[in-house]
Amino acid sequence: MEKRGALPPRGPVLHIVVVGFHHKKGCQVEFSYPPLMPGEGHDSHGLPEEWKYLPFLALPDGAHNYQEDTVFFHLPPRCGDRTTVYGVSCYRQIEAKALKVRQADITRETVQKSVCVLSQLPLYGLLQAKLQLITHAYFEEKDFSQISILKELYDHMNSSLGGTSLEGSQVYLGLSPRDLVLHFRHKVLILFKLILLEKKVLFYISPVNRLVGALMTVLSLFPGMIEHGLTDCSQYRPRKSISEDAVLQEITPRLDDSVSAAATNLGVGKGGRKMAGNHSLGGQNTNVPFSQSEKICNGARFSNSTVQHLKVPSRTSPESSESEWETLDPSILEESNLKEGVCENAASEQAENLPSECRSPETLPITVQPQANSGHAVLVPGLVSGLEEDQYGMPLAIFTKGYLCLPYMALQQHHLLSDVTVRGFVAGATNILFRQQKHLSDAIVEIEDAHVQIHDPELRKILNPTTADLRFADYLVKHVTENRDDVFLDGTGWEGGDEWIRAQFSAYLHALLAAVLQPDNEKTLSDFGTPFVVAWKNTHNYRVWNSNKHPALAEVNSSHPFQGQYSVSDVKLRLSHSVQNSERGKKIGNVMVSTSRNVVQTGKAVGKKLILNQLGSKNMKLQQGKFSLDVKKSFFTERVVGSCSRLPREVVIAASLVEFKKQLDDT
């Protein structure tokens, strides 16, 4: 049992981990099952180098301010693994005096711990629902040495999630686009486009559960992103010591030799182009010189319940990440005449046995996406993106090649924001230090106020929504607000529901992709925003998508879903958007609201008081059961205006007369 961690994973759940806060050592791992370090016990504090930030992610900064919290986080793959590790952590704290068994190192009044699940499947909400129940039961024991419930959790999750598919609504459990639209309204589309442009986007709010919920909900608007688009989203290296850097420099010359050997074996000619012809790749892995440790780190490890895919190199220089996709040759599409199975197996075998630094995108064949069967989604591994793609090329390869997705970022990971190997990120933070350093991000999303702060004026112009975009956003907002009182079970099939909103964004993105493929499409693309489309075409995800053929897009309408002639309602939409999204407009709007409210309240109060005074005066005479209306208007209005000299004259007169007439009618 002690060496269980050295065995291949039985299912999608890799480890159950307990992280606690020690008054001297800080956050540390107190329990792991199977052990995180092969050969060590489940109570070992040891951590793999790749997961050195695990304790700080599982036990978030400022957690002591909340009784309980939930965290979603991503870890980089370990040696032998190839994809992102998805973490879900449930935090709780309990008073030390309530414990039945109090250990000697508990010196504070409260005990803070988190129970984590490390999984190979991005089932955030489903894992959270199960983990919250177990965490509650674990704390109710009031004896943290009782770990049997945690071992049972590991076995239960692997048995229940072993055959789980990523194509159902359970992937989106707990992620509500409906709430997102209600909160951000028209700004949801700006967030969508920000990520399409692969900008550095920082989400900010506390506690963590609101942070990760909003961030992951935005990502769920991208077709297939949660299911298949995050497998390469956490490819970063923790900070290394000086000694480790020296070892890395010694290995570098050998890696340079590996590049030339790999190019020879794969049949890459001068200039990086792949030569035509049939090449037998089997058995050539022994010709590539790299160390035994590198073999382990890059070898494939498969399990019965998960599928590993071809991994595209993720650590390259910033220059190559921006330019290498421009050299893709479309003629490669017609070069390969090999049988599909032979070619795919050979390419996978060769790629698995090369160090990740040695593989080059130019050596990978470009696939043609097949037509979808009617009513069925066809997913194939994209050899350029490294992701499972559908017939439209979804998900887009946004979170690849150093563009990170970190739903929660610990303060210890702050250096990643300025790391030269990180070309961008979508990250969440609760520490104010992240928000204060604005130069490290392109946009800061303050979730509490639904405010999207974009620092660069040029970027603001690029993201300025077109009239068609405003119609699209207004269409979403109206359907969500009109149906907000309805009871939804899962939102499927209901206008204004979660699935409906995702379908609208999917249709929007498909229309954009279809539009860029059309000749003479300047007018069509203007509805999406010409500056935005120009900027998007320079991104990595567009170049990867454009390197493939997607015949299914021929059946998609290649125009904006809300194109059309201008009308008066468009002017109102533009004015409303300008007022809501500019600082001056917000100030004017707030003044108008407060002034209107004060006028109504003051007018009613003053008018009522004056009327009651005038009822007893000699100028009001009762004739035949009715009041005589021989009241001098000049006298009445002068009294009202004199009492409300700070208010607009016409408003006060109108409000007073209306109130006066109402009092007369009641009498």
Q: Tens digit of pLDDT for each residue in 461-511?
A: 999 999 999 999 999 999 998 865 554 544 445 688 899 999 999 999 999
Cα 89 from Cα 86, distance rounded (Å): 10
pLDDT average, residue stretch 233-254 = 55
Beta bridge partners of 119: 13, 86
Residue with tokens 């220089």: 317
**Quick one: what percent of the chain has pLDDT higher than 90?**
43
- Whether pLDDT at 346 is above 90: no
- Confidence label for 372 from pLDDT (cuts 50, 70 and 90): very low
Sheet with 85-95: strands ordered across: 26-33, 13-22, 110-119, 85-95, 68-75
Q: Write the secondary structure of 341-403 as one string of H (helix), E (strand) and C (coil).
A: HHHHHHHHHHHHCCCCCCCCHHHCCCCECCCCCCCCCCCEECCCCCCEECCCCCCCCCCCCCE
Q: What is the DSSP letter of 467?
A: H
pLDDT tens digit sequence for 380-422:
877 677 788 888 999 999 999 999 999 999 999 999 999 999 9
- Quote the pLDDT of residue 617: 57
pLDDT tens digit sequence for 504-545:
999 999 999 999 999 888 999 999 999 999 999 999 999 999
- Quote the pLDDT of residue 491: 44
Which residues, in sequence order, are CB contacts of 529 under 8 Å at separation 6+? 462, 463, 464, 465, 466, 469
Contact (Cβ atoms closer than 8 angstroms) between residue 407 and residue 213? no
pLDDT average, residue stretch 20-40 = 88
Q: Write the burial class of residue 209 (CB in 10 Å: 0-12 exposed, 13-18 middle, 19+ buried).
A: buried
- Whether pLDDT at 263 is above 60: no
Cα 272 from Cα 107, distance rounded (Å): 63
Query: Closest Cα partner for 512 from 521, 503, 501?
Result: 521
Q: In this predicted structure, which of 124-133, 328-337, 438-447 has the lowest mean pLDDT?
A: 328-337
pLDDT average, residue stretch 64-79 = 90
- Whether pLDDT at 605 is above 90: no
Contact (Cβ atoms closer than 8 angstroms) between residue 158 and residue 11? yes
- Whether pLDDT at 364 is above 50: no
- The mean pLDDT of the chain is 73
pLDDT average, residue stretch 320-344 = 39
Residue with tokens 């050998």: 254
> Rounded to the nearest 10 degrees, how much is the dihedral formed by the CA atoms of 194, 195, 198, 203?
90
Task: Select the more confidently predicted residue: 610 or 645.
Answer: 610
- Quote the pLDDT of residue 267: 40
H or E segment and range at residue 634: helix 633-643
Where are any strands of DSSP class E within 434-528? 443-446, 451-454
Contact (Cβ atoms closer than 8 angstroms) between residue 483 and residue 546? no
Query: Closest Cα partner for 88 from 108, 72, 74, 104?
Result: 72
Structural tokens at position 40: 């060590």
Cα 28 from Cα 17, distance rounded (Å): 10
Q: Crossing angle of helices 467-482/498-516, nearest 10°?
A: 170
Task: Select the more confidently predicted residue: 252 or 444.
Answer: 444
Dihedral pair phi/psi, residue 154, rounded to 5°:
-60, -50
pLDDT average, residue stretch 596-614 = 66
- Quote the pLDDT of residue 78: 85
Cα 590 from chain centre: 31
Mean pLDDT is highest, among 191-200, 379-388, 613-622, for: 191-200
Where are any strands of DSSP class E within 574-636? 622-623, 626-627
Strands 201-204 and 110-119: unpaired
Beta bridge partners of 93: 112
- Whether pLDDT at 230 is above 70: yes
The amino acid at 165: S
pLDDT tens digit sequence for 82-96:
789 999 999 999 888
Where are any strands of DSSP class E within 48-139? 68-75, 85-95, 110-119
- Quote the pLDDT of residue 181: 95
- Quote the pLDDT of residue 370: 35
**Cis peptide bond upstream of 207, omega within 30:** yes
Q: In this predicted structure, which of 116-130, 350-364, 476-490, 632-646 has the lowest mean pLDDT?
A: 350-364
H or E segment and range at residue 641: helix 633-643
User: What are the helix (H) ranges across 517-563?
Assistant: 522-526, 530-536, 540-546
- Quote the pLDDT of residue 342: 41
- Confidence label for 368 from pLDDT (cuts 50, 70 and 90): very low
Cα 305 from Cα 77, distance rounded (Å): 17
Which residues, in sequence order, are CB contacts of 254 under 8 Å at separation 6+? 289, 290, 291
CB atoms within 10 A of CB 336: 17
Task: Select the more confidently predicted residue: 67 or 585.
Answer: 67
Dihedral pair phi/psi, residue 88, rounded to 5°:
-130, 130
3-class secondary-structure state, position 549? strand
pLDDT tens digit sequence for 37-56:
988 888 888 899 999 999 99
Task: Select the more confidently predicted residue: 233 or 495.
Answer: 233
b/e 246-262 (16+ beta carbons within 10 angstroms → b): eeeeebeeebeebbebb
pLDDT average, residue stretch 445-458 = 95
Rounded to whole angstroms, what are the CA distances from 286 to 9, 23, 94, 278, 299? Answer: 28, 51, 56, 20, 13
Positive or negative torsion for Cα 101, 107, 110, 114: negative
The amino acid at 108: R
- Whether pLDDT at 356 is above 50: no
Task: Select the more confidently predicted residue: 264 or 635.
Answer: 635
- Confidence label for 323 from pLDDT (cuts 50, 70 and 90): very low
- Quote the pLDDT of residue 398: 96
Q: In this predicted structure, which of 65-74, 547-556, 589-598, 654-663 has the lowest mean pLDDT?
A: 654-663
Structural tokens at position 27: 């956050």
Query: Closest Cα partner for 608 from 620, 618, 600?
Result: 600
Query: Closest Cα partner for 51 from 9, 92, 97, 84?
Result: 84
H or E segment and range at residue 152: helix 148-161
- Quote the pLDDT of residue 580: 63
- Whether pLDDT at 311 is above 80: no
Mean pLDDT is highest, among 39-53, 243-257, 449-463, 598-612, for: 449-463
Q: Crossing angle of helices 208-219/187-196, nearest 10°?
A: 70
